[in-house]
Structure 1
Amino acid sequence: MGSSVEQIKVWFRFVPREGWFPQDTEGLWATRLSADTAQVQGVPFLQDGVAEGDVVRFQTDTDGLHWAVGRISASGNCTIRVVPAPSGPLRRSPQAVHQRFARFGLGGEVFSEEFPMVALNAPADADFSGIKALLARGQEDGWWHYELGCVTDEWRNARSSASSAAADH
């Protein structure tokens, strides 16, 4: 019999943001690696500082919930959250957001129909410069609002092909 890969939910706790969701926890699916470590399989909608593929350490409470206590290793992936502007050309369509980013090969998940935030995973080897330029242009043109949930030095150092002065408003 082959070794079975155990999928567990790892919970993250954070301070709810003003004017954002009231939640102060988020559960992400992960593959258990050892008694207290797991590799994150999903893209976080709320938790900052973690990306798909990262390895986290967790503690299991008396209710059997696995709570993340820190990141052990980073995958190099980045988490980007995009919310299509209702008044913009994409309306509230997560599919339209996905289409815009399709050429970069980004995977992602949609929060809900009521709140069509798309959490995108930008792999470590993605075209960060191109993605940054598209994010900035889309925000300037009123397509979406975006935030960076987790980025790497490679992301920070990637030159946006659009003038970087424009992003500094």
Structure 2
Amino acid sequence: MTSAAPTERVPASPDLIKVWFRFVPREGWLPYDTEGLWATRLSEDTARVENAPFLQDGLAEGEVVRFITDADGLHWSTERVQASGNCTIRVLPVPTGPLGRSPHAVHEHLAPYGVSGEVFSQEFPLIAYTVPADADLKEIKMLLRRGRQDGWWHFEEACVTDAWRDAQPPPHGR
């Protein structure tokens, strides 16, 4: 078993626990089959996810998951019990593009829309962004598509909502 171990935020509260997720690694992608995310314990077996996943698809920050605790004290997610309405979008800067490998440059473009994110590592500047449910989804989608078209970054929609799917930017930008 190989776990993703990006630079992590340090827990700021005793209620924060690490909840682990298992998945099948994607061919040609990072060779991990588990990912641990910080979560606020809500009950004996539920917790609210507190950061965006780099590898686990179908999950966004703010969602409530049920978990079991194994004999080693690790908390393993078993199901999502409440959606947050947030989306997870992953952005990888194109090293030869106008922004280079800079996660900071990517963030400067997305920050005005209220998104927040974390960088996997300096060597692999993948950014996992949380797009809040109340963000301007049309504008964010338009910016992401333009950035991909202009060679700034690649992006993937790791967890999206119906509101995200329904938000259609103008066909030719503004």
TM-score by length of 1: 0.93
- State the match for 1:8 in structure 2: 17
- The answer to whether structure 1 residue 142 and structure 2 residue 114 are counterparts is no
- State the match for 1:54 in structure 2: 63
Note the aligned Cα RMSD (angstroms): 1.2
- The answer to whether structure 1 residue 123 and structure 2 residue 128 are counterparts is no
Q: Any stretches of 5+ residues in structure 1 without a counterpart?
A: 165-169
Q: Distance in 1 between matches of 2:74 and 2:83?
A: 23
TM-score by length of 2: 0.90
The sequence identity of aligned pairs, in percent, is 66
Within the candidate set 15, 19, 36, 2:28 is matched to 19
Within the candidate set 148, 152, 161, 1:152 is matched to 161
Q: Distance in 1 between matches of 2:170 and 2:106?
A: 20
Query: Cα distance, 1:43 vs. partner?
Result: 0.7
Within the candidate set 22, 32, 36, 2:45 is matched to 36
C-alpha deviations, 1:116-148, integer Å up to 9, x for none? Answer: 011110000000000000111110111100001
Q: Secondary structure at the match of 1:90?
A: coil
- The answer to whether structure 1 residue 88 and structure 2 residue 101 are counterparts is no
- State the match for 1:167 in structure 2: none
Where does structure 1 differ by over 6 angstroms across 4 or more consecutive aligned residues?
none
Matched AA of 1:146: F
Q: Distance in 1 between matches of 2:62 and 2:99?
A: 29
Q: Distance in 1 between matches of 2:21 and 2:38?
A: 11
Q: Any stretches of 5+ residues in structure 2 without a counterpart?
A: 1-12
Q: Distance in 2 between matches of 1:117 and 1:162?
A: 28
